[in-house]
Homo-oligomer: A and B are copies of this chain.
Amino acid sequence: MKKNLRIGLIGTGFMGRTHSNGYSQVAHFFPELEYRPVLQAVCSRNEASVKAFAEQWGYAAYETDWRALIARDDIDAVDICTPNDTHAEIAIAAAEAGKMILCEKPLARTVAEGQQMVDAINKAGVANTVWYNYRRIPAVSLAKQIVASGKLGKIFHYRANFLQDWTINADLPQGGAGLWRMDVAAAGSGVTGDLLAHCIDTAMWLNGAIVDVSAMTETFVKERMHQLTGKVEPVGIDDACIFHCHFANGSLGLFESTRYARGHKALYTFEINGEHASIRWDLHDLNRLEYFDHRDESIVRGWRSIHVTDGDQPYMGKWWVPGLGIGYEHSFIHQVADFLKSIETGAPCHPTFQDALETQKVCEAVIDSANARSWKDTGVESFAM
């Protein structure tokens, strides 16, 4: 007999949908799990829209006040999908209520906020995870497996970027529904927290702690109409951010993110160069991992394009047959599965709040470095790999 894990979801935007889909799908593809999620309640401020969302996804109940949702005693886990400025308050309240917490990334707007959240979690001793979902794209998980196997040898280089082009139009407003990522008060930062945070999480998971950074940011469009005030206001977010860094293992890192790279919708790529082998990945073709092994016979040596759809590759035994790809949304289903498994085993489900706090430290050091035009230490001492 399956055990229920009753979910209370806060926020019905883009991430509310990806998470709800994760809960809906996990039992279909991971039937062996002891726990199964139950869509108990969902919360959003607009009653009409939260009611429609509840119907669409099969949530048993809805709330319009997140405090009411946390207060419900039929909820085991709270899932936070709201804008970044609310993560800390909600998470701390949920922890105090003894709920497990699944928090959308980035953990918070600042290290200070994040630290309070970690403290709250630690005090409450509740299960927790942060939705850095890209780790669980099968090709990315395979990259982890390859790195962990030692196939790459000593690492020299790590590079990643996350390029988009959706804010080039200077008439795009900032703030408000659907656009809170443009508003520094709500988001905390621009591409650094929204996009580079993903790159940094993956990077430290694959290659260890980032110890210092030297960064540059830019805001190309200096003023935009704010949707909430109706006024043209200064833009506070970083439209673009570039930094280089040292990893604790001595390798060099290079990161770039922008929303002004015409032609790239969501081009998250990373590449690792080791003594013996290299790997690279690209979100636009997410079922593929490229791998180069210098130990191959020289005349037939080349980058291998691995179509990560075989049953012996991470997560893929759960899906279809070789050659048939999966999509973006599956990374969330996998994270739900791993979270449920972690409840079963008692082991943490990485990235935890603590892991996400380390990523937050790098993000903050990056912004600080850019502002100061100087190198900054991140203060990250270790990272759960």
Residues of chain B with a CB closer than 8 A to A31's CB:
52, 55-56
A312 CB, nearest partner CB in chain B, Å: 6
Q: Which residues from 17 to 35 on chain A have a C-beta closer than 8 Å to any C-beta of chain B?
A: 18, 20-21, 24-25, 27-28, 31
Check B216 against A321 for contact (C-beta < 8 Å): no
Check A299 against B322 for contact (C-beta < 8 Å): no
Q: Which residues from 287 to 345 on chain A have a C-beta closer than 8 Å to any C-beta of chain B?
A: 287-294, 296, 298-307, 309-310, 312-313, 319-330
Residues of chain B with a CB closer than 8 A to A266's CB:
321-324
Contact of A303 with B156 at beta-carbon distance under 8 Å, contacts A298-B312, A312-B298 already known: no
Check B321 against A267 for contact (C-beta < 8 Å): no
In-complex Cβ contact of A324 among B256, B294, B328 (8 A):
B328
Residues of chain B with a CB closer than 8 A to A312's CB:
298-299
Q: Which residues from 213 to 254 on chain A have a C-beta closer than 8 Å to any C-beta of chain B?
A: 214, 216, 218, 220, 240, 242-244, 246, 252, 254
Bound complex: CA A151 to CA B303 (Å): 19
Contact of A299 with B145 at beta-carbon distance under 8 Å, contacts A323-B164, A323-B284, A329-B326 already known: yes
Bound complex: CA A18 to CA B52 (Å): 27
In-complex Cβ contact of A56 among B27, B320, B329 (8 A):
B27
Number of copies: 4
- Classify chain A: how many residues form its interface, as a range: 35 or more
A3 within 8 A of B: no
Check A262 against B294 for contact (C-beta < 8 Å): yes
Check B320 against A328 for contact (C-beta < 8 Å): yes
Bound complex: CA A218 to CA B327 (Å): 36
In-complex Cβ contact of A277 among B18, B262, B330 (8 A):
B262
A142 within 8 A of B: yes
Check A262 against B292 for contact (C-beta < 8 Å): yes
Residues of chain B with a CB closer than 8 A to A328's CB:
320, 324-326
Residues of chain B with a CB closer than 8 A to A151's CB:
300
Check B294 against A300 for contact (C-beta < 8 Å): no
Check B262 against A325 for contact (C-beta < 8 Å): no
In-complex Cβ contact of A302 among B146, B267, B291 (8 A):
B291
Contact of A283 with B320 at beta-carbon distance under 8 Å, contacts A214-B214, A294-B263, A304-B302 already known: no
**Residue interface mask A271-284, B partner, CB < 8 A = 1:** 00111111000011
Check B244 against A216 for contact (C-beta < 8 Å): yes
A286 within 8 A of B: yes
Residues of chain B with a CB closer than 8 A to A256's CB:
159, 254
Residues of chain B with a CB closer than 8 A to A28's CB:
20-21, 24, 56-57
Contact of A14 with B301 at beta-carbon distance under 8 Å, contacts A278-B262, A307-B284 already known: no
Bound complex: CA A261 to CA B52 (Å): 49
A110 within 8 A of B: no
Contact of A306 with B310 at beta-carbon distance under 8 Å, contacts A252-B216, A263-B273 already known: no
Check B300 against A304 for contact (C-beta < 8 Å): yes
A21, A156, A303, A375 — most chain B CB neighbours (10 Å): A156
Q: Can you pick out 20 interface pairs between chain A and chain B where the beta carbons lie within 8 Å of each other?
A: A151-B300, A156-B220, A156-B240, A157-B260, A166-B322, A252-B258, A261-B278, A262-B276, A263-B278, A263-B292, A266-B323, A266-B324, A285-B288, A293-B300, A299-B310, A302-B307, A320-B328, A320-B329, A373-B374, A373-B375
